[in-house]
Chains A and B, each alone.
Chain A
């Protein structure tokens, strides 16, 4: 997608005017004593919510509190896969609305988020895998999502370097093909939302850590931060991997376990891989960026942790699995690896909306797959805040589903697939 006009004009002006620094994308502010809405967590989710609050509902007295820099969490560490070919109708509907918002986002934010809908392949290496893909294709089609089962001949056409022979230990039997799936520039999404939220009046406070939440008679009255106290009646917890550390402040337990997820990137190669390739059985997924680097990830680490250290075990594992799919990559070098932390819910679906504490809202349970949901999560939660009602689209993801025994099981489509 091309950058919009205004941005190119700005760029051009900048090119002839090197003496002036480019304008700031978002400003710094003193903490105000009071805000209508306080959002904890300056990731894509928190910033998107601030943006839609202002844009759709005229609510601009909003603070986004970020303990580090914006995008320091999963939003700056993910592998940027966007898709909607999930397993449950509730999930497919929800993620599909997000894909639609992403398709318009460069225009909407006047900022190029480089959404590249290059197609997404989920490989099946076993009969069980083929069955799951078939089921997903059916559910996707009923919900109007472009998604179908394809066989090795078509897989080979889409991805010539993939080994579709019967030589590998787990030969490729079929794949779920999802043409609208793809990758996006994750930092641009964070910056674009931050910029437009700032322009509309929201305050983005970096280096501002929430250390406590004030509750009186079951209702939120304020938050304590490393920069002072804020009075507010509405707090949204959008801290993803750190979500439980915030809810313990108000004695709410969440069904979450925080586990690191690692990824790595290779040196740039000539473009050879158009589609995003995912293999659940091999615990690996891979895509090629516009710069030619291969971005690769695996499943979550073997034990829970808030540590964002990388491990050699991960690199060894992923190298083996990638070579099983693409033997031709054996001499390619890894440039860097990193980790982020993911809060895993038992059913691999998000947890959004009201809690037992009046005015304390959550947007958590994003696990290894939440970046793609940033626009729709921000938009629906903004609506929930403005109307005090849960939008239908996110009603299935309410916190009370756990005691109502009404889980939304997405494991078959959410683990490894991201």
Chain B
């Protein structure tokens, strides 16, 4: 993988970006979680060998945190989009 498409800036060298890990959902009410649920949120990962929705940060560019869908075996990037458009 050499290029990644920032939703703001377009195609850029992947070295301009920082990887932010797989997308997970934050607990709605953290204080109501059991230790197991809290550990699950903090540490457990799906770590799929498949298409993965994940965070990227254009840290050497516009500073946007956005989402990408990438196949973790081939590194093929299926699409990138702003977080706000995740359900579109």
* A-to-B contact residues, CB < 8 Å: 242, 244-245, 248, 253-258, 302-307, 309, 313, 343, 346, 402-405
| B49 A306 Cβ-Cβ under 8 A | yes
Known A-B contacts A304-B19, A304-B21; A255 and B72 likewise in contact (beta carbons under 8 Å)? no
In chain A, what residue has the closest Cβ to B4? Answer: A303
**8 A Cβ contacts from B39-80 to A:** 39-40, 42-49, 52, 54, 72-75
Known A-B contacts A304-B21, A307-B75; A253 and B46 likewise in contact (beta carbons under 8 Å)? yes
| B45 A257 Cβ-Cβ under 8 A | yes
| B72 A254 Cβ-Cβ under 8 A | no
**Residues on the B chain within 8 Å of A257, using CB:** 21-22, 45, 47
| A254 B44 Cβ-Cβ under 8 A | yes
Show 27 residue pairs from A and B whose CB-CB distance is below 8 angstroms, ordered by the A residue.
Answer: A242-B49, A248-B48, A253-B44, A253-B45, A254-B45, A254-B47, A255-B43, A255-B44, A255-B45, A258-B47, A258-B72, A302-B15, A302-B18, A303-B1, A304-B52, A305-B72, A305-B73, A306-B73, A307-B72, A307-B73, A307-B74, A402-B39, A402-B43, A403-B36, A403-B38, A405-B35, A405-B39
**Residues on the A chain within 8 Å of B38, using CB:** 403
Complex CA–CA separation, A181 to B46 (angstroms): 35
**Residues on the B chain within 8 Å of A346, using CB:** 42-43
| A244 B47 Cβ-Cβ under 8 A | yes
**Residues on the B chain within 8 Å of A305, using CB:** 72-73, 75
In chain B, what residue has the closest Cβ to A259? Answer: B19
**Residues on the A chain within 8 Å of B52, using CB:** 304
Complex CA–CA separation, A302 to B46 (angstroms): 19
B15's contact among A244, A245, A313, by CB below 8 Å, is which? A313
| B35 A256 Cβ-Cβ under 8 A | no
| B35 A404 Cβ-Cβ under 8 A | yes
In chain A, what residue has the closest Cβ to B56? Answer: A303
**Residues on the B chain within 8 Å of A244, using CB:** 45-49
In chain B, what residue has the closest Cβ to A404? Answer: B35
Annotate B14-28 by CB proximity to A: 1 below 8 A, 0 otherwise.
110011011000000
**Residues on the B chain within 8 Å of A313, using CB:** 15
**Residues on the B chain within 8 Å of A404, using CB:** 35
Known A-B contacts A254-B47, A255-B43, A403-B36; A302 and B19 likewise in contact (beta carbons under 8 Å)? yes
B19's contact among A254, A258, A303, A309, by CB below 8 Å, is which? A303
**Residues on the B chain within 8 Å of A245, using CB:** 48-49
- Please give the distance in Å from B77's CB to the nearest CB on chain A: 11
Known A-B contacts A258-B72, A304-B72; A253 and B15 likewise in contact (beta carbons under 8 Å)? no
Complex CA–CA separation, A348 to B72 (angstroms): 22
B47's contact among A256, A307, A403, A405, by CB below 8 Å, is which? A256
Point out which of A248, A253, A305, A309 has the most chain B C-beta atoms below 10 A from its C-beta.
Answer: A305
- Please give the distance in Å from B2's CB to the nearest CB on chain A: 9
| B74 A256 Cβ-Cβ under 8 A | no
- Please give the distance in Å from A350's CB to the nearest CB on chain B: 14
**Residues on the B chain within 8 Å of A255, using CB:** 39, 43-45
Complex CA–CA separation, A304 to B75 (angstroms): 9
| B15 A306 Cβ-Cβ under 8 A | no
Point out which of B45, B46, B54 has the most chain A C-beta atoms below 10 A from its C-beta.
Answer: B45
**Residues on the B chain within 8 Å of A405, using CB:** 35, 39
**Residues on the B chain within 8 Å of A258, using CB:** 47, 49, 72
**Residues on the A chain within 8 Å of B46, using CB:** 244, 248, 253
**Residues on the A chain within 8 Å of B35, using CB:** 403-405
In chain A, what residue has the closest Cβ to B74? Answer: A307
Complex CA–CA separation, A302 to B20 (angstroms): 10
- Please give the distance in Å from A102's CB to the nearest CB on chain B: 30
Complex CA–CA separation, A135 to B21 (angstroms): 31
**Residues on the A chain within 8 Å of B36, using CB:** 403
- Please give the distance in Å from A403's CB to the nearest CB on chain B: 4
- Please give the distance in Å from B78's CB to the nearest CB on chain A: 14
Complex CA–CA separation, A346 to B15 (angstroms): 24
Complex CA–CA separation, A404 to B34 (angstroms): 11
Q: Nearest 4 CB-CB pairs, A to B? A: A303-B19, A255-B43, A244-B47, A403-B39
Complex CA–CA separation, A81 to B14 (angstroms): 31
Complex CA–CA separation, A256 to B43 (angstroms): 8
